[in-house]
Amino acid sequence: MNLVHWPGGSVGEKEPKSKLLLSIIGIVAIGAGYYIAISEENPLKAMYMFFVAVILVIIGTYCLFTAVSVTVLKLLRKQKNFYYNKKNFVAVSGMLYRMKQNAVIYYIVFKLTSKTYVKIVG
């Protein structure tokens, strides 16, 4: 007998939606950030632009992990020969439903690693 009923307790996770605009923003932001970091010649301007590049890469990484990963997994699911393989079916479908939570964790790990690297090198 179940005396306590939790609302939404038996409802599974919803499949995340792929966001094309967020994917494009992520790829462009990462590309722009790395381009700024590599191309700047003037040392004084490089210090200022370094922070802009870091912010762009952080924003791009968040967008990449949250949107592009879902888009790639959905594209893999559309390829029937790949998706209906025993190993791939379980892996892709499981990752697709957990991607929203995983993306935030990947982003936090990346951000902490980047900050640590900047502190050590800088």
pLDDT tens-digit series, residues 22-77: 888 989 999 998 898 888 788 778 778 888 888 898 888 888 888 888 888 888 88
Q: How many CA atoms lie within 13 A of 10 on its CB side?
A: 3
Neighbours of 56 (CB within 10 A): 20
Which pLDDT band holds residue 93 (cuts at 50, 70, 90)?
A: confident
- Average pLDDT estimate for 89-111: 80
User: Where exactly are the structural domains of the chain?
Assistant: 20-121
For residue 88, give every residue at least 6 positions away whose Cβ sits within 8 Å of its Cβ, in sequence order, or none.
76, 82
CB 97 within 8 A of CB 15: yes
Q: DSSP label at 19?
A: -
**What are 114's two structure tokens?**
């980047």
